[in-house]
A and B are shown apart, each in its own frame.
Chain A
């Protein structure tokens, strides 16, 4: 059974290949000769990042260099993709700390829940995105490496507009 095809008739000026082609050639020529280019010369010139960009994690540290994490276990619980590995421990003073704390940045979706949930403001996301690695193992950041990060931490909300309006 032959199908019914609706044929839309367009005005000649619109349907003409020759005119459309000529117009296209004109447009591309204009762009070809236009010296203003949109390309950002990336490694030389970088983006102005918003303070709210969520990137590579960073662990906050005490003055003596210990990580602030108290091993409460909230962030591994809240993490939607299960990429935080935490083994808590207790020292001789009865203070809890994270014996093993690893974040798999490869799996992380940078949702920011871990930073939001942390009671002691230990784990933070950072304003940083240049973390290419040669192997997948290198993407798993251990506690030491998280503490070493130096980039700015993410502001989860704009201080001048806390209700995000």
Chain B
């Protein structure tokens, strides 16, 4: 059975876009309530619990409130851009979802449907490219508000995004070295244990590349503008920065954008490092779709549902970790942020790429084939590197008080 073609393909794609977009927006709603619950729990409060069971309908109440609230339009604002900015803040995070594989292919009578909106052969580059657009919303909002606080927030946002963009992209290079392909489904397949077809690593990349995960996660946090990297909003200095002048639904759009971004980054972490939709210790979900459309393994409907579940569980856990970090770590000072980005992340990631590249060369020179041993050697190398990294960070050379800099 081949992939769906022709009219069935168009219908399948439209259905997929509709379903995934709805699921995405629902998860954003869910994420806001979960975030508030987690914030409450961490601070020994019980969080929202008055609207609906467990406070679950709070989001709807907030939505209604935001829609009927007054929308303000500052006199100094540049109208078109002021309205456009919230849209631009949501857009990148949502269209990034197009190249994320959610589950194993679903067989139908017209052929199988891949659980990914667009299986683009440049998937990974698309993610980097679209991810960078996220800054436009913030910069535009800051600039068009006609308020100095907003402008500063916007400037900070763009400076921060540019700094961490580099580290974000570079932190994925070792992964591409291992996978040898930039298609997202292929990245997932390589983390599964296949007996047929091209050899794979049979282990999630969190092990052979966990420093990569660390770098990706830190830059991902910076990209989503969440604590400890929420310099663009910094309510203490900038009165919430780029969205100071926004109210009602426009303000909500920024919040939705932020949560959508968090979910997207969490989904990316899942795909790149946590095996995507792979269910651990089970060979039944080893289904691989090659770029020419041939399928290895037996896709079935219930496997699709199971793998979708596995993907959502992993993504939710990563989102929870995001929130847990947010409610723990205090915000960096601006120079610390820049130091961390340019003086630490960039160098560390570059060195990491070089080390991994040389280790891969070494492993191949010794003649160990791609597989579990290959990955284990990389895991050991990562452990050593992580220890060195911890030693460096621990000496306080990266984040230090202002007095030391004089």
Please state if A24 and B44 are interface contacts (CB–CB under 8 Å): no
Cα A12 to Cα B395 with chains together (Å):
7
Pick from B328, B394, B403: contact of A18, CB under 8 Å:
B394
Please state if B398 and A5 are interface contacts (CB–CB under 8 Å): no
Residues of A within 8 A of B236 (CB): none
Please state if A17 and B327 are interface contacts (CB–CB under 8 Å): no
Please state if B324 and A29 are interface contacts (CB–CB under 8 Å): yes
B281 touches A (CB below 8 Å): no
A25 touches B (CB below 8 Å): yes
Residues of B within 8 A of A36 (CB): 44
A165 touches B (CB below 8 Å): no
Please state if A25 and B324 are interface contacts (CB–CB under 8 Å): yes
Known contacts A21-B329, A24-B328; A38 and B45 CB within 8 A of each other: yes
Output the least CB separation between A24 and chain B (Å). Answer: 5
Cα A162 to Cα B46 with chains together (Å):
41
Q: Mark B285-328, 1 if CB is under 8 A from A, else 0.
A: 00000000000000000000000000000000000000011011
Please state if B396 and A38 are interface contacts (CB–CB under 8 Å): no
| Interface size range of chain B in the complex | 20 to 34
A163 touches B (CB below 8 Å): no
Q: Which residue of B lies closest to A13 (CB)?
A: B394
Residues of B within 8 A of A24 (CB): 328-329
Residues of B within 8 A of A12 (CB): 394-396
B22 touches A (CB below 8 Å): no
Cα A126 to Cα B40 with chains together (Å):
34
Q: Mark B353-378, 1 if CB is under 8 A from A, else 0.
A: 00000000000000000000000000
Please state if B45 and A28 are interface contacts (CB–CB under 8 Å): no
Residues of A within 8 A of B393 (CB): 16-18
Cα A16 to Cα B400 with chains together (Å):
9
A49 touches B (CB below 8 Å): no
A19 touches B (CB below 8 Å): yes
Output the least CB separation between B214 and chain A (Å). Answer: 11
Residues of A within 8 A of B41 (CB): 31-34, 37
Pick from A28, A38, A39: contact of B324, CB under 8 Å:
A28
Please state if A38 and B44 are interface contacts (CB–CB under 8 Å): yes
Known contacts A5-B406, A7-B404, A32-B324; A15 and B396 CB within 8 A of each other: yes
B388 touches A (CB below 8 Å): no
Cα A16 to Cα B392 with chains together (Å):
10
Please state if A39 and B45 are interface contacts (CB–CB under 8 Å): yes
Residues of B within 8 A of A32 (CB): 38, 41-42, 324
B43 touches A (CB below 8 Å): yes
8 Å CB contacts to B: which residues of A102-117? none
Cα A147 to Cα B396 with chains together (Å):
68
Output the least CB separation between B326 and chain A (Å). Answer: 10
Please state if A17 and B398 are interface contacts (CB–CB under 8 Å): yes
Residues of B within 8 A of A28 (CB): 42, 324, 327-328
Q: Mark A82-116, 1 if CB is under 8 A from B, else 0.
A: 00000000000000000000000000000000000
B282 touches A (CB below 8 Å): no
8 Å CB contacts to B: which residues of A1-56? 2, 5-8, 12, 15-19, 21, 24-25, 27-29, 31-34, 36-39, 41
Known contacts A12-B396, A16-B393, A18-B390; A37 and B45 CB within 8 A of each other: yes
B399 touches A (CB below 8 Å): yes
Cα A34 to Cα B38 with chains together (Å):
12
Cα A19 to Cα B395 with chains together (Å):
10
Please state if B406 and A37 are interface contacts (CB–CB under 8 Å): no
Please state if A16 and B394 are interface contacts (CB–CB under 8 Å): yes
Please state if B403 and A19 are interface contacts (CB–CB under 8 Å): no
Cα A19 to Cα B396 with chains together (Å):
10
Output the least CB separation between B382 and chain A (Å). Answer: 17
Q: Which residue of B lies closest to A19 (CB)?
A: B394
Output the least CB separation between B210 and chain A (Å). Answer: 15
Cα A43 to Cα B395 with chains together (Å):
51
Please state if A17 and B46 are interface contacts (CB–CB under 8 Å): no
Q: Mark A132-156, 1 if CB is under 8 A from B, else 0.
A: 0000000000000000000000000
Q: What 9 pairs between A and B have smallest CB-CB spacing?
A: A17-B399, A28-B328, A18-B393, A39-B46, A37-B46, A38-B44, A16-B394, A28-B42, A15-B396
14 contacting pairs across A/B (C-beta < 8 A): A12-B395, A16-B393, A17-B398, A18-B394, A21-B328, A21-B329, A25-B329, A28-B42, A28-B328, A31-B42, A32-B38, A34-B41, A34-B44, A39-B45
Q: A5-B406, A39-B46 are in contact. List 17 more A-B contacts (CB 8 A).
A: A7-B404, A16-B393, A16-B394, A17-B399, A19-B394, A24-B329, A28-B324, A28-B327, A29-B324, A31-B42, A31-B43, A31-B44, A37-B46, A38-B44, A39-B44, A39-B45, A41-B46
